Amino acid sequence: MLLISSVVTSGVVAAGVTVASNWLRRPRADLRMMCSEFNQLDLERIERAKDESPENVRQRTPSHVVRLTNYGDGTAHDVRLKGQECRPRVWVGDAGKMDQEGRAKVAWPMWDRTIPALDPGESKHIFVMCLTDDRNVPVVTASWPVMPRRGLWRRTIHIDLSKAETIETGWPGKSAG
């Protein structure tokens, strides 16, 4: 009887150590945000999305671009974007339309507030839509579940666009301090 209980106890302890070790070493997403510039594709999408409505109405315009990158070794699932004094959006694709001759043609860009998955090393550009009066400081928040398919506990990062680091542009090293 003593032999059986010691074998069962050691087996339970070994299983517990294995589960805890695997849980601690599991792949994790580590997201970071930095201010960026519009790239050529971004500007083309913005040009196609322009609305020809009267300018006397206050409207949000894409005044900032934020680069969201996963520096971790695991995929970030269900990344949600929120904004304070702004509306963060990520490009998800282009709508299509038929021209007069019946050929498919690119129409409006499509935007979302969520990113289904961000793999390790992958980056996405977030368009930050702000009011044109620039009186308020926009803050972008990204959150994702710590464990996939379990959204109870989410990791969150914020970026204050007035104090954020920016990606270097122009000649390499010229704008570095």
Q: Can you tell me the distance from the alpha carbon of 166 to that of 62, in angstroms, rounded to the nearest whole number?
A: 16
Per-residue pLDDT tens for 67-80?
999 999 999 999 99
What pLDDT is attached to residue 43?
87
Helix ranges, 25-171 (H):
40-49
What pLDDT is attached to residue 102?
84
pTM of the model: 0.74
Which of 111, 113, 112, 158 is CA-nearest to residue 139?
Answer: 158
For the cut 80, the answer to whether the pLDDT of residue 21 exceeds it is no
Amino acid, res. 44: E
What pLDDT is attached to residue 88?
94
- What is the gyration radius of the CA atoms in the chain, in angstroms? 23
